[in-house]
A and B are shown apart, each in its own frame.
Chain A
Amino acid sequence: MPDSQTKKTRILYLFPGPIFGPNFPDFRDRFLALSNFFEGEIYTWVVEEKYSCINLGDFVFRGFPRKNYGFSDLNQFIFRCRQALFVLKNVLDRPGHKKFDVVVCYEPNFSGMLGCVIKLFTGARLIVEINNFSFRDSMTHHYGTGLLVKIKIFVSSVFQGLVYRWCDRIKILTEGQRESLNLSRWESKISVFHDFVPTHYFRPVGPGNGQKVILYAGWPFYLKGVDILIPAFNLIKDRHPLSHLCLLGYRLKEDLEKYGEGWDMERVSVKAPVYYDKLKEIMESCYCFVLPSRTEGLPRVLIEAMACAKPLIGTKVGGIPDLIKDGVNGFLIKADGDVQTLADKLDAVLSDEKLAKRLGEAGLNCVNDHYSSDKYCEHFEVMIKKVMD
């Protein structure tokens, strides 16, 4: 018989799907790194057809090809059913294949339910990741407060309870999520660590000289507080002739036309979202990174900016206080706060290059100690060990 200790644990990942396809480092490197300890398969359901079956290290990436479905609720429902059938058919029909030891689900709703069914039939262990602070809030932010949304929230909250009861481990991003999600009943099966960020991919160049670009990346417009950022920048830009504000994100231009009438957009550039390798260039060439969010999980962009050794400015919401220590690697301001405070902090960072450098280096140390890609693998290994025992 083969030695059971040398065998790698087989993992089944249920994932909604990488936005830009699996070949970009934010997705790919995670599985290349995990291949050192694990093997398995990744099932996703929103990819282009050319990515429907490829190898990523010791993982096989399988996707349900995205088709042009409408956005009406009925279409969405049919699409969901087909996705679920696709995953179940392929996972449960495995003649002569090895069984999965662990199932990891990206969120507790759709993929969580799928994971429960797979656990029921195959007896695999189930891990559920939770990446938001409140399901209700994120639903109402995206879809409004209609009756259908309320029904959806109610139904999913019932199922979420079942999923939490069934799963063997719950993985959350920060300590703050315990309270907002009411996880006190499942205290014994919670693991807390960050999401994977390919920190090794970024060069720690520090805040550059020359043109001082203030970078912002995020979506949507209001929740990330762009309406505070632009006036704050306008207050200080006369004092810093080399400064420049760069905004990256979906639908920014349309939102600016809607909300930003009469705003002074001089020296503000607005860009559509870019591929990861391009983001790396932009991130490395910026001077500091600002994220004046109103709601937030554990923002990956901040970890990426820290990996480039940039000073950060963020708000006290969600997991941001975990990442930014005020005065150590950046500045924290009040959420939904006034323009003047943000302007002051921007002024402080822009006018003192030594300070900016110091903040950036502290951030880089913080990333290397707590949030690097190697750390993620360590945490993940520990979590799998706990589940398997």
Chain B
Amino acid sequence: MTNKTNQNVLCVFGCLLGNKTVSAIIKDVLDGLDDFQADYISVTPDDYGKYKVPCWKKAAGMTAEALHIIDQKLKDVDFNAYDLVIVQGFEYGWAVNKRVKDIPCIMFNDSTPTATHRMMRQFPYYSPFWKLRSLVLEWAYRIFFRNVFSNIDHVFPQTDWCGRSMVRDFGIPQSRVSGGTIAADLDRWPVRDFADSSDEGIRLLFVGNEFQRKGGPFLLAVLERLPETAKLVIVSNDCFFDSALLPDRVRHYKNIDHDKMPEMFRSADIFVFPTYKEHFGMVQIEALSSGLPLISRDVGGVSDAVIDGYNGYLMPYKSTEDDWVKKIEFLMSHPDERARMGKNSRVLAEEKFSMEKFKSRISEAIETLCR
């Protein structure tokens, strides 16, 4: 077995600005490895003007347009000059897969359209027309996009939920899909002091911008049924709060500096995440890392971060306000349980979402595929 001295790697990323976390981590890892020369391709908003898209594809929707542009852009690239291809995102995986017959390829993916459509159909604010449309689209994807990833050697799905969908809907052999891989810098979110439990009641914390999608109104209804000692802290820039009349025990913060967020997490007691539509929710890692017990709605990949009864409660999608009130009241009256779950949260964060593990996993996959 011989090691080539210099390996060329091609990275095809969604956008170097958006999806910043994962692409930045991959770039970090590649910079850290010796003997690897990396080239980067990404699709920018300019490309939408550069390439001509047939009108029927424009009419078919955003995804078809994007697929066409990516396909055009990758046309001129000589894939045979590379020893490894790293691709991020569903659409890019489709375009790359056609061209990498003999080259090892790693794919990072945050969600699949089929899983997203399945999730969207549960969303209570959707009209029946949109639900029917999403059903049709899901099956269209399942039929026309089956086996479009057959040349990809390793898939890193962002969540277990996405990995399952890659296997179930797109026919990738399960052995090529790893478990959910997502990470954040845990040192930025230090653990709170568990002994510091004030007697004046507990503070629930909600963080998120799209208030309605993330179940904010539901949370306010839950709060109404809770005893007076429960306070709610909302960190959100949503326009909902420009006109909303909030009860006294709700404190709303707007435009909070990112450096001040760890303090917000540390001063809360329970993190609530009643979201209706979510791929994962990075804010969950922040809450885990700060040592908060989580109460989340089971949708999409949220269940990666919550093990029911271990570090919080995973509520079924159709759980009512009363179910939530019961769980929160239980945690209010059992501070020791809160502390236990909080400690477990930190353990889970270090075990599943630590940056070192994530990086070592990527570099290991790169090295095994290149050898």
Q: Is B53 an interface residue (CB 8 A)?
A: no
Contact with B along A77-108 (1 / 0, CB 8 A): 00000000010011101111110000000000
**Complex contacts, A55 vs chain B, CB 8 Å:** 178-181, 352
**Complex contacts, A91 vs chain B, CB 8 Å:** 175
Q: Is A53 an interface residue (CB 8 A)?
A: yes
Inter-chain contact A23/B307, CB cutoff 8 Å: yes
**Complex contacts, B307 vs chain A, CB 8 Å:** 23
A1 CA to B307 CA, complexed, in Å: 40
A60 CA to B364 CA, complexed, in Å: 15
Interface residues of A in 1-17 (CB under 8 A from B): 1-2
- B309 in complex: contacting residue of A89, A93, A275, CB < 8 Å: A275
Interface residues of B in 341-371 (CB under 8 A from A): 351-352, 367-369
Inter-chain contact B179/A61, CB cutoff 8 Å: yes
**Complex contacts, B174 vs chain A, CB 8 Å:** 52-53, 62, 86, 90
**Complex contacts, A52 vs chain B, CB 8 Å:** 164, 167, 174
Nearest B residue (CB) for A93: B173
A133 → B minimal CB distance (Å): 34
A107 CA to B73 CA, complexed, in Å: 54
Q: Is B163 an interface residue (CB 8 A)?
A: yes
A124 → B minimal CB distance (Å): 15
Number of A-B contacts (CB under 8 A): 63
Q: Is A297 an interface residue (CB 8 A)?
A: no
A257 → B minimal CB distance (Å): 31
Inter-chain contact B179/A60, CB cutoff 8 Å: yes
Inter-chain contact B177/A53, CB cutoff 8 Å: yes
Q: Is B203 an interface residue (CB 8 A)?
A: no
Q: Is B310 an interface residue (CB 8 A)?
A: yes
**Complex contacts, A98 vs chain B, CB 8 Å:** 368
A214 CA to B362 CA, complexed, in Å: 52
A181 CA to B367 CA, complexed, in Å: 45
- B176 in complex: contacting residue of A1, A54, A61, A95, CB < 8 Å: A95
Band of interface residues on A: 20 to 34
Interface residues of A in 31-50 (CB under 8 A from B): 32, 41, 49-50
A97 CA to B104 CA, complexed, in Å: 11
Q: Is A344 an interface residue (CB 8 A)?
A: no
**Complex contacts, A23 vs chain B, CB 8 Å:** 307, 310
- A53 in complex: contacting residue of B154, B160, B351, CB < 8 Å: B160
Inter-chain contact B179/A53, CB cutoff 8 Å: yes
Q: Is A353 an interface residue (CB 8 A)?
A: no
Q: Is A57 an interface residue (CB 8 A)?
A: yes
Inter-chain contact B368/A53, CB cutoff 8 Å: no
Q: Is A378 an interface residue (CB 8 A)?
A: no
A97 CA to B177 CA, complexed, in Å: 11
Nearest B residue (CB) for A276: B309
Nearest B residue (CB) for A64: B174
**Complex contacts, A62 vs chain B, CB 8 Å:** 174-175
**Complex contacts, A89 vs chain B, CB 8 Å:** 173
Q: Is A381 an interface residue (CB 8 A)?
A: no
Complex A-B: 27 CB contacts under 8 Å: A1-B3, A23-B307, A23-B310, A50-B303, A52-B167, A53-B163, A53-B174, A54-B304, A55-B180, A57-B351, A60-B178, A61-B179, A62-B175, A86-B174, A89-B173, A90-B173, A91-B175, A93-B173, A93-B175, A94-B175, A95-B176, A96-B104, A97-B176, A97-B368, A275-B309, A277-B309, A277-B310
6 A-B pairs with the lowest CB-CB distances in the bound complex, closest first: A55-B179, A90-B175, A96-B153, A96-B369, A54-B179, A53-B163
